[in-house]
């Protein structure tokens, strides 16, 4: 696969993606098979490395190695997964973390989450799909898990024209499993939960949250199964209210509160988040801490304006519920929402509601989601901890 003149600059700077409009028209891209291994060259024919290709995608190639004569097989996967494992084992005492994070671990298209003796794998590219058997074998060799599950039901597979499915390839995967995070236990659904069942990326942000909630009245919006709210309870919150649109998720949050001996301090509201915030405001409810962890409002670059306005409205509704000296913990998982713009929307929300704000902390994804320094796409999570200042 030969690139057009000048289109190798980003790759030479370390990026791993090739877009279809960067390929020289002389390369018969449409004749290549999805997932096929190709040699990349610049416009003069000089080698750039090897890549998995998919002619049906805008991202038509993903670099696997800078050495043009190398291969990509089970042995390579084993070396890279072993390297990823060493990092996580050096960071975390308990085996609950994201073991492999795609491009950041030199494994484009592969995510592996570790839930103790159970591994949940997501494959999002045709190249990795071809290697699913080798991936499963390597994971068994490295970790001897009791079960390996493929949660290949993510919408990202549609971009590669891949079938969506869930399959257990080793052992018997439990419907529920127990994990521990920041001294708090959670029952997690691996088969029916969102993503792979849990969001490990907020671990460090949730740990920082704990210092603000002792003795406080806390509102956890978009709570899912209580990752934030239940941890607030174990950190000493006087009471927590979880808001989510899923009755199933809220039932799980209540079970998780009970699992930590805090069921009597948890309330749940099943409703749309915006509607719930408006209703709480109309009822005169006030909180010491409000946590906002919504899904991505900006999934595509063209959605930025509308998504930014949604973040502003959401944060304004939350600020109206906060007591003076109250704490707002606000997150965005939208890669297309720049950090500076996200903070600007929080600032605008403060101006709209007449609340003077102080930014106390900034957070991003945990260390088991390392950032590839040449790929801003791997740096997506933004969290601001903001105080409502008096006077």
Active site residues: 333
Query: In which element (H, E) is residue 281 found?
Result: helix 273-282
- Residue where the block lists tokens 């190798």: 8
Q: How far apart are CA 228 and CA 218, in angstroms?
A: 10
Q: Determine contact, residues 110/52, Cβ cutoff 8 Å.
A: no
Q: How far apart are CA 128 and CA 240, in angstroms?
A: 42
Angle, helices 132-143/74-91, rounded to nearest 10 degrees: 40
Q: Are strands 322-332 and 287-292 parallel, antiparallel or unpaired?
A: parallel
Could you tell me the strand order of the sheet in which 17-19 lies?
Answer: 17-19, 59-65, 47-53, 37-41
């Amino acid at each position: 696969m030969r690139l057009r003149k000048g289109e190798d600059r980003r790759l030479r700077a370390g990026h791993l993606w090739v877009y279809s409009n960067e390929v020289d028209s002389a390369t018969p891209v449409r004749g290549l098979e999805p997932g096929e291994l190709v040699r990349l060259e610049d416009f003069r024919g000089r080698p750039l490395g090897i890549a998995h290709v998919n002619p049906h995608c805008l991202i038509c190639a993903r670099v696997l190695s800078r050495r043009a004569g190398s291969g990509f097989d089970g042995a390579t996967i084993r070396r890279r997964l072993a390297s990823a494992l060493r990092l996580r084992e050096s960071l975390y005492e308990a085996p609950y973390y994201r073991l492999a994070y795609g491009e950041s671990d030199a494994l484009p298209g592969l995510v592996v989450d570790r839930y103790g003796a159970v591994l949940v794998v997501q494959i999002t590219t045709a190249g990795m799909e071809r290697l699913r058997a080798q991936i499963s074998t390597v994971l068994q060799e490295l970790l001897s898990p009791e079960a390996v599950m493929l949660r290949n039901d993510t919408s990202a597979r549609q971009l590669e024209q891949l079938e969506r499915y869930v399959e257990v390839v080793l052992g018997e995967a439990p419907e529920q499993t127990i994990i521990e995070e920041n001294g708090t236990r959670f029952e997690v659904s691996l088969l029916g939960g969102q993503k792979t069942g849990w969001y490990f990326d907020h671990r460090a942000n949730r740990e920082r949250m704990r210092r603000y909630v002792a003795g406080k009245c806390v509102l956890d919006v978009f709570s899912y199964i209580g990752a934030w709210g239940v941890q607030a309870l174990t950190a000493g919150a006087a009471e927590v209210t979880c808001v989510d649109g899923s009755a199933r998720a809220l039932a799980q949050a209540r079970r998780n509160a009970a699992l930590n001996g805090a069921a009597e301090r948890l309330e749940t509201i099943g409703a749309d988040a915006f509607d719930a915030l408006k209703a709480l405001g109309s009822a005169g409810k006030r909180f010491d801490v409000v946590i906002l962890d919504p899904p991505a409002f900006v999934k595509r670059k063209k959605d930025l304006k509308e998504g930014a306005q949604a973040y502003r409205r959401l944060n304004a509704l939350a600020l109206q519920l906060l007591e003076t000296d109250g704490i707002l913990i606000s997150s965005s998982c939208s890669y297309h929402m720049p950090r500076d713009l996200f903070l600007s929307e929080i600032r605008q929300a403060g101006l709209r509601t007449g609340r003077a704000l102080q930014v106390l902390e900034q957070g991003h994804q945990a260390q088991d989601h390392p950032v590839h320094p040449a790929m801003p796409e791997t740096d997506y999570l933004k969290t601001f901890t903001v105080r409502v200042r008096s006077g």
